[in-house]
A and B are shown apart, each in its own frame.
Chain A
Amino acid sequence: MRVVTIISVLLLSMVMAAHAAAEKELQVGFVYVSPIGDAGYSYAHDKGRQAVEGMDGVKTSYVESVKEGPDSERVILNMARKGYDLIFATSFGYMDPMLKVARQFPKTVFMHCAGFKKADNMGNYFGRMYQARYLSGMVAGAMSKSNILGYVAAFPIPEVIRGINAFTLGAQAVNPEVSVRVVWTKTWYDPATEKEAAKSLLDVGADVIAQHQDSPGPQEAAQEKGVYSIGYNSDMSGFAPKAHLTAAIWNWGPYYSEIVRQVQDGSWKAEAAWRGMDAGIVELAPFGPMVPKQLQDQVRAKQEEIVSGAFHVFSGPIKDQQGAVKIPAGSMATDQEMLGMTWFVQGVVGTTE
C-alpha cells in the first residue's frame, strides 16, 4: 500500500512540474478528423504540427478521429478552456462548432481549414490543391493506355469536385481522348471501402487510379491489379511502389510555423487564406521511375507556369458535362466560383450527387 502511495505522489508531482514549466509557452492545439496514422490527410497536418513543435517556446498537442458535429465543438471548447492560445481545426465540418467556441473565447486564436466563415479571432485557410491535381492529371492522362482514369472520391462537395475537374482538365491537356470515372465512397477514411471502390473502377477498365481519400487503399488496389495510381495527401509510394506515379500532397509545416510566429509576435489577423503552389502548401510528390523523363519535364514546366501565375487551371473555355459553356473563352473562374463548384467538366463520367 505504501508503495502505491509513494508512486502516486511521485506521479502527481511530476504532473505538477510539467504543468508549471508549460505555463509560459504558446500552447497550440490541433483537431484531426482521422487517425494520424492514416498516411493521408491528418498525417499531413500532423507533420505540420511536428514542424511547429520544433519551434522555440511552443508546445503542441492534438486530438485525432474527432467526428464533425457536436463532438468537435466539445474538443475545441475543451482546448480553449485549458488555455490553448491557438487552435487549428483541420476539417470542413468543424467550421460552425469552431465559430461557436470562438465567440466565447475572444482572446484565443482559432484557425479553421477548408471552410468559409470568419470572425475577429477566427481565420480560415486552405491550399489550392487543384493546382497539383491538374499536374497529376497530366501524368495520369499521358500514362493511360485505356484512356479511362478512375477517381475514388469521398463526398460530392466543392473541394472534391474541384479536384476532379482539375485532374480531368490536366489529363485532357495531354490526352484529349481521356475520360475520368468517379465513384463516391461517402467516407473520408475507410481503407476497405476505398479499396473496393478502386476495384470497381479497375473492373470498368480504368488503368490509372486517383483518389480523394485519406487511406492508401486505392493505391494498393492499383498495385495488385498491375496498373498505375496517383496518390493524395502524402507521398504514398511506400504503399504501392510499382503503381505510384506521383501524388498531390500537402505541406503544412511552413504555413503553420508562419501562423504561430504571427501569434507569438502579435501580428496575427483573421483572414481567409487560400494559398497555392507558389506558397509551397501544395506540392507534387517525386515521380515514380516509370514516368518518362520527357513527361516529367513537361509537367515541371507546367508547374513553373502555375507558380509564376502565367497559367490558371480553370481558364476558359470550359464546358460542363452537358456541353454548356460554364467558363467562357478568355476568362477564368473566380475564387468564389471555384469555392462553390458543384458541376463536373466535360469528360467526367459520374454525377455530383
Chain B
Amino acid sequence: MPRFRIIKRQERLGWRSCFIFLAAILLSLLFSGVMLALRGTPPLEGILILFKGAFGSRWAIEDSLIKAIPIFLCSLGVAMAFRLQIWNIGAEGQFALGAIGATWMALSFPELPQLVLLPLMVGMACVAGGCWGLIPAILRQRLGTNEIIVTLMMNYIAILLLDYLVYGVWKDPTSFGFPMTAEFVPQAIVGKIGSSGVNWGILHCLLLGILFWVFVTFTRTGFELRASGDSVRAARYAGIPYSGLVVLVMVISGALAGWAGFLEASATINRLQPSIMVGYGYTAIVVAWLARLHPLNIAVTSLLLAGLRVGVENLQLDLQVPAAFGGILEGLILMTVLAGGFFVHYRIVSVRQP
C-alpha cells in the first residue's frame, strides 16, 4: 500500500513554479464552478462570461488595464516596504493623501499650463503620500511603535481628512451641497492614449515598475534593502544603516501610493470626492503577497485581479450572479495560490512500504 511523504525539493523550481500558480488558479476556478453549479448557474458558461468580461474584447482589456493602474502602483509601494519586512498596511491612507495633494495643486493653480501643472500635482501627491509614510517610520524607529497599527490607524485619519476637505473648504459651490470638488481644469487631467480608453497612467506604471526593479536589483541601497529584509541582525552587523532604510522605504512606499491617488483623481474621476476610496490600498497588500513582491509578477497579478473584478460585473449582468461571488472567487484564488506556495519548496512522494 502506497504511503505519502512530504520532502523538501533539492533544487529550486525557478520558472517552473508558474505551473503551480496556474494549477492553483485552475483549482480555484474549479471550486467556483462548483459553486455556480450549486446555485443553478451553468458553470462553464459562467466562467466563460467572466473571462469575456475581463479580457474577451478590446474594451474589456482596456477596462481591466485602467482598473489595474492604481492597484499596481499601490502594490509596488507596499512590496517595497515588505521587502524590508516593514509591514506597511497604510497604502490606503497614503493613496488618499496623494489624491489630496494632487487636488490641492489642481485647485490652487488652475491657470498653469499642463506641462507645469501635472508635474506639480505628481510632486505634491508624492510628497503628501510620502509624508504619510514617513510618520509611522519615524515613530517606529524613535519610539518603537508597531508600524502595522500606526499605518492602519493613519488610514482612517487620512480618509477623515479627505472627507473634511470635500465636505468643507473644497466643496464645489455648484454641487447642491454634495461632497465633491469642482471638476479639474483640462490642464490638470491626465489624458487618454490616442483613441483608446486607457490613460497615460499606464506608461507611468511601466516606468515606475522598471525603476523599482533597477533600484532593488542593481543599486547598493537595493542590495542593502534585500539583505536587511532577510536578516535585520546580520544587516546591522554588516554596518547597513537600517533605520535610514526603514524611513526611505516607507517614504517611497507612501509616494507610490500617493502617485496612484493622483492618477485616480486626475485621470479617472477628474475631481476629488469621497468615492475615490474603494480599498485599492488593501487590495494592494493581497496583490503584493500573491506576486511574491516581484514587480513583473505584481503587474500580472494586478491585471488579473482587476480583470476578475471587471469580469464579475459582466457575470452579474448576464447571469445575475450576486456581487458577493466576486469576493468569494478572489478569496479562493488567494487561498489556493498561497497554499500552492507550499509546493514550490516541498513535494509529495509516494513511498512503498517494504
Contact = CB atoms under 8 A, between A and B. Distances in A.
Interface in B292-344: 310, 313-314, 316-318, 320, 322-324
Interface string A50-84: 00000000000111111111110111011101100
Interface stretch (A199-207, A258-266, A336-344): A336-344
Interface band, chain B: 35 or more
A77 B179 CA distance: 24
A69 B273 contact: yes
A74 B313 contact: yes
A331 interface: no
B338 to A, nearest CB: 25
Interface string B153-175: 00000000001100110000000
Interface string B25-49: 0000000000000000010110000
A8 B163 CA distance: 50
A78 B49 CA distance: 13
Interface in B242-284: 264, 268-270, 273-276, 278
Considering residues A67, A74, A342, which has the most beta carbons from chain B within 10 angstroms of its beta carbon?
Answer: A74
Contacts of B53: 78
B66 interface: yes
A84 to B, nearest CB: 9
A105 interface: no
B275 A342 contact: no
Given A69-B275, A93-B275, A339 B176 contact: yes
Contact of B176 (A12, A66, A156, A158): A158
Given A11-B42, A157-B178, A340-B177, A61 B317 contact: yes
Contacts of B223: none
B150 to A, nearest CB: 22
A134 to B, nearest CB: 20
A67 B275 contact: yes
A74 B310 contact: yes
B317 A35 contact: no
A353 interface: yes
A186 interface: yes
Contacts of A62: 316-317, 320
Contacts of B316: 62-64
Given A69-B275, A156-B167, A92 B178 contact: yes
Nearest to B316: A63
A74 B63 contact: yes
A311 interface: no
B278 A71 contact: yes
Interface string A86-116: 0000001100100000000000000000001
A63 B323 contact: yes
A155 interface: yes
B313 A35 contact: no
Contacts of B313: 63, 66, 74-75, 78
A64 B322 CA distance: 7
Interface string A1-32: 00000011001101100000000000001000
Given A116-B176, A341-B177, A68 B59 contact: no
A54 to B, nearest CB: 16
A15 B318 CA distance: 10
A70 B270 CA distance: 10
A177 B90 CA distance: 47
A148 to B, nearest CB: 26
A70 B42 contact: no
A93 B278 CA distance: 13
A342 B317 contact: no
Contacts of A67: 275, 278
10 contacts: A35-B322, A61-B317, A62-B317, A63-B313, A63-B323, A64-B323, A157-B178, A158-B176, A161-B177, A353-B167
Closest 10 CB pairs of A and B: A65-B323, A68-B275, A69-B275, A342-B177, A70-B268, A158-B177, A340-B176, A63-B316, A64-B323, A67-B278
Interface of B: 42, 44-45, 53, 59, 63, 66-67, 163-164, 167-168, 176-179, 264, 268-270, 273-276, 278, 310, 313-314, 316-318, 320, 322-324
Given A61-B317, A71-B278, 12 more contacts: A35-B322, A62-B316, A63-B317, A64-B323, A67-B275, A69-B276, A71-B67, A78-B63, A82-B317, A116-B176, A155-B179, A340-B176
